[in-house]
Structure 1
Amino acid sequence: MKKWLGLTLGVLSAVGGFVDIGDIVENGLVGARYGMSLTWVIVLGVIGIATYAHMSGRIVAVSGRPVYDLVRERLGAKAALANLVGSLLITLLTLAAEIGGVALVIELATGVDHLVWVLLVGVGLWLVVWRVRFQTMEQTLGFAGLAVAVFVVAVFCLDPDWGTLGSQVVRVTPPEGEPLPTYLYHAIALFGSAMTPYEVFFFSSGGVEEKWSRADLAVVKMNSFVGFPLGGLLGLGIAAATAAVLLPAGVQVDNISQVLLPVALSLGGVGLVIGLFGFAATTVGAALETGLSAGYAVAQFFGWEWGKRVRPAGAARFHLAVALSLLAGALVVQTGVDPVALTEYSLVFSAVALPLTYLPVLIVANDTDYLGEHVNGRISNTLGLLTLVVVVLAAAAAIPLMIATGAGA
């Protein structure tokens, strides 16, 4: 049992990375519009994030320090500041989207407008960060988020045309009549949702919270190469469900209630409740990840005491940074901005910021001064470099495609 509990950091990180509000909307949207023809993007995202999560986790286990701490030391304050500013802005934008996502899920469950819930959600998240132990939070939300597997069950219950779904999976071009630029725009948004910068901050800092050491290298590998692929599978389940039901009906996804339609159709009220519960768990988990990641990044840059392993009074500036981040995110949503639209923009700008996050990780993971014999091997470097090439291409194309396609319209 202890072995499986050791997986929950990877599961929580992966659920936050693959089934947060951005992924719920984007997976549902691409499934309803393109079927399974963007499966290759999710596969690339899984390989990329699992590879870099393993690097960052190994750095923590060997050095006892989080990745961002070593980035600042290895690359200097200027490079670390560029990394901090780029990643932090995207993390805060993502945090606002996640808070909005939690409020939207509550609106679906209660019928009360999501704006009523936004500040209450922000306060609730702050109370969890302030009072709940890291491992309790990690295990509870990690396992609760697995309720999204109801979409995988729904696909089998729908008994779709498996031949059609299979032909869509192996296709890497847009369906007939769909413009290539819009297809590529959504491919970049989907890739950005898998590789969001906060995942590395959260995963590596979570390793410090859990006191990983060299003895935990197997746990790091298991979290990286089991937890993140599991998150990718849940994302594929959402896409497959909407591809099976909404694509043939010509229904376009522009809100999360439409994403739940396949589950309600195949499993009825029980499935709908489980789906809502899963969305609540994943959006709350992602909001906590992004809020904590903002605090981790700021505190580690300035050398403050940080983490939930420290009493709040002993890490007051870290907790203040998290509280201000949550407040900023809540206030953005409280202005009335559409959380779904905010989600789309956060995914695209996330893609733009990816090189600032992942190149420093690759550099530190090859530094023998920090890792000794545990530096990257040939496979890790090959996958890391190939992912970095995709990251740079996505970053270069994201804004032009957003402008050219009207944000994927």
Structure 2
Amino acid sequence: MKRYLGVLLGVLTAIGGFVDIGDLVTDAQVGARFGWSMTWVVLLGVGGICVFAEMAGRIAAVSHRATFDLVRERLGPRVGMLNLVGSILVTLLTFIAEIGGVALALQLVSSVNHVLVVPFVAAAVWIVLWRAKFSSIENVLGLLGLSLIGFAVALWQLGPDWNDVLHQLAPTSNPGGESWTTYAYFAVALFGAAMTPYEVFFFSSGGVEERWTRKDIGVMRANVFIGFPLGGILALAIAGCAAEVFLPHGISVETLGQVGLPVALALGKIGLAVVVLGFFAATFGAACETGLSVGYSLAQYFGFQWGKYVRPRDAAGFHVIILLATALGAGVLLTGVDPIMVTEMSVVFSAIALPLTYLPILVVANDPDYLGEHRNGRLANVLGVFYLGIVLVVSLAAIPLMIVTSMGQH
């Protein structure tokens, strides 16, 4: 029974933890401008994160070592450094966006400008990362993130024309007269939001934190192959609500408050209060995950003690890295930069960094010296190579599309 409860808790946490500020903003923007026509991108992204998260989790369970620890050893310090620099910059940018997302969520309930809230959010994130147990961070915030299921209820209440929805599912459907370059730009952003690099870093390191063994591979796979797809359905509900409310009127989503407006229209103030709680939990949880991922990546590459499973004084360097990253994030946001703009940049640059993240994982997952009989089989390799080809195309297209469309403005 305890094992089944563990699977259930892991799945629920994966659902609640799948959506972060990048997904909230990008899903709503895409729904408002393109309706349901990018459903295929969400499904493709969820499939990709499942493929590589399973590899990362299996590596952690079998080798008891995390991603950057093995990447540096297997591919050498130079390739490892290239991977580290690209990934850490994207993770740090995402960390800043998540802190900004928490501040925006608190602004919705307090009417206090988000810039004034940023120092308190940063302090709270640091205190939680310093003092809270890993399981508490993951489970409590992940479960609170399930409040975002309010979007699925709101979508049902809005009563979309499902025949029209089915018509829009075709990738050739491009509503609103948008250009195909703009369509491609948002497809890249949506794919990047689904496959954000920090997710696999956190998942792999979390497996080491929780001392996974070969016996836990089944539980890990249940979390991945059930939790992430259900989280993807939640992302589609957010896009669907925006499509129902904003698309018919040609309204673009530019604020976090607009993301929650369809829920307010469908379910009233109580429903809105529930999803605002989800906003807070999802962004605060993702801020904790990205903050930890910054510390994990640097500590694992340079080989010093890391993790929540040891006392803070025994992993002082790890905690100092997180403190400096938190201070940097707060400093950037205190300049008055728009957190939504930071979020948009983070998902595009996530797309650029995808090959640096996922190629090393595929290489290590095929190494019998680390995984023995648990190394990749034929199906895992076929899917891995398939998705590696996609992320390479996405990575090469991201910058040109961002320039041509002025970040989706035309």
Q: TM-score, normalised by structure 2?
A: 0.97
Name structure 2 gaps, 5 residues minimum: none
Q: Give secondary structure in 2 for the equivalent of 1:117.
A: helix
Deviation at 1:141, TM superposition (A): 0.9
Deviation digits for residues 191-239 of structure 1 (CA, Å, limit 9, x no counterpart): 0011111111100000011100001010111111112112211111100
2: CA distance, partners of 1:4 / 1:203? 19
Q: Which residue of 2 aligns with 1:23?
A: 23
2: CA distance, partners of 1:353 / 1:40? 21
1: CA distance, partners of 2:92 / 2:366? 29
1: CA distance, partners of 2:219 / 2:156? 32
1: CA distance, partners of 2:89 / 2:230? 28
2: CA distance, partners of 1:113 / 1:66? 39
1: CA distance, partners of 2:149 / 2:26? 17
Q: Is the 8 A contact 2:30 2:239 kept in 1?
A: yes
Q: Which residue of 2 aligns with 1:5?
A: 6
Over 3 Å counting, the alpha-carbon distance change for 1:320 and 1:333 in structure 2 is same
1: CA distance, partners of 2:247 / 2:87? 35
Q: Which residue of 1 aligns with 2:297?
A: 297
Deviation digits for residues 249-288 of structure 1 (CA, Å, limit 9, x no counterpart): 2211011111111100110011000010001000001100
Q: Is the 8 A contact 1:152 1:238 kept in 2?
A: yes
Deviation at 1:12, TM superposition (A): 4.4
Q: Is the 8 A contact 2:15 2:146 kept in 1?
A: no
Q: Give secondary structure in 1 for the equivalent of 2:296.
A: helix
Q: Which residue of 2 aligns with 1:260?
A: 260
1: CA distance, partners of 2:343 / 2:79? 28
Deviation at 1:139, TM superposition (A): 1.1
> Percent of aligned positions with the same letter in both sequences?
55
Q: Which residue of 1 aligns with 2:150?
A: 150
Over 3 Å counting, the alpha-carbon distance change for 1:293 and 1:97 in structure 2 is same
Over 3 Å counting, the alpha-carbon distance change for 1:35 and 1:241 in structure 2 is same
Deviation at 1:174, TM superposition (A): 2.1
Q: Which residue of 1 aligns with 2:56?
A: 56
Over 3 Å counting, the alpha-carbon distance change for 1:13 and 1:196 in structure 2 is farther
Over 3 Å counting, the alpha-carbon distance change for 1:252 and 1:176 in structure 2 is closer
2: CA distance, partners of 1:47 / 1:289? 21
1: CA distance, partners of 2:173 / 2:371? 41
2: CA distance, partners of 1:4 / 1:84? 36
Over 3 Å counting, the alpha-carbon distance change for 1:172 and 1:232 in structure 2 is farther
User: Are 1:133 and 2:133 matched, yes or no?
Assistant: yes
Q: Which amino acid in structure 1 is aligned with residue 399 of structure 2?
A: I
Answer with 181-190 or 166-175: which moved more: 166-175
Cα RMSD of the aligned pairs, angstroms, is 1.3
Equivalent runs, 1:350-389 vs 2, <5 Å? 350-389=350-389
Deviation digits for residues 343-372 of structure 1 (CA, Å, limit 9, x no counterpart): 111111111111000000000000011111
Equivalent runs, 1:246-325 vs 2, <5 Å? 246-325=246-325
Q: Which amino acid in structure 2 is aligned with residue 202 of structure 1?
A: F
Q: Which amino acid in structure 2 is aligned with residue 302 of structure 1?
A: F
Q: Which residue of 1 aligns with 2:399?
A: 399
Deviation at 1:170, TM superposition (A): 3.0
Q: Is the 8 A contact 2:193 2:347 kept in 1?
A: yes
1: CA distance, partners of 2:24 / 2:317? 33
Deviation digits for residues 132-182 of structure 1 (CA, Å, limit 9, x no counterpart): 111111110111111101000111111111111121123344226210000
Q: Which amino acid in structure 2 is aligned with residue 123 of structure 1?
A: A
2: CA distance, partners of 1:4 / 1:182? 44
Q: Which amino acid in structure 2 is aligned with residue 53 of structure 1?
A: A
1: CA distance, partners of 2:299 / 2:95? 17
1: CA distance, partners of 2:292 / 2:12? 16
Q: Give secondary structure in 2 for the equivalent of 1:171.
A: coil
Deviation at 1:14, TM superposition (A): 5.7
Answer with 181-190 or 329-338: which moved more: 329-338
User: Are 1:98 and 2:120 matched, yes or no?
Assistant: no
2: CA distance, partners of 1:60 / 1:172? 40
Q: Give secondary structure in 2 for the equivalent of 1:313.
A: helix
Over 3 Å counting, the alpha-carbon distance change for 1:251 and 1:110 in structure 2 is same
Equivalent runs, 1:147-296 vs 2, <5 Å? 147-175=147-175, 177-296=177-296
Q: Is the 8 A contact 1:46 1:229 kept in 2?
A: yes
Name structure 1 gaps, 5 residues minimum: none
Q: Which residue of 1 aligns with 2:38?
A: 38
Q: Which amino acid in structure 2 is aligned with residue 259 of structure 1?
A: V
Deviation digits for residues 353-395 of structure 1 (CA, Å, limit 9, x no counterpart): 1100000000000001111111111111111111111100000
Q: Is the 8 A contact 2:14 2:224 kept in 1?
A: no
2: CA distance, partners of 1:191 / 1:334? 29
Q: Give secondary structure in 2 for the equivalent of 1:260.
A: helix
Over 3 Å counting, the alpha-carbon distance change for 1:376 and 1:295 in structure 2 is same
2: CA distance, partners of 1:302 / 1:103? 32
Deviation digits for residues 21-77 of structure 1 (CA, Å, limit 9, x no counterpart): 111111001101100100000001000001100000000111111122111110011
Q: Is the 8 A contact 1:62 1:371 kept in 2?
A: yes
Q: Which residue of 2 aligns with 1:81?
A: 81
Q: Is the 8 A contact 1:38 1:172 kept in 2?
A: no
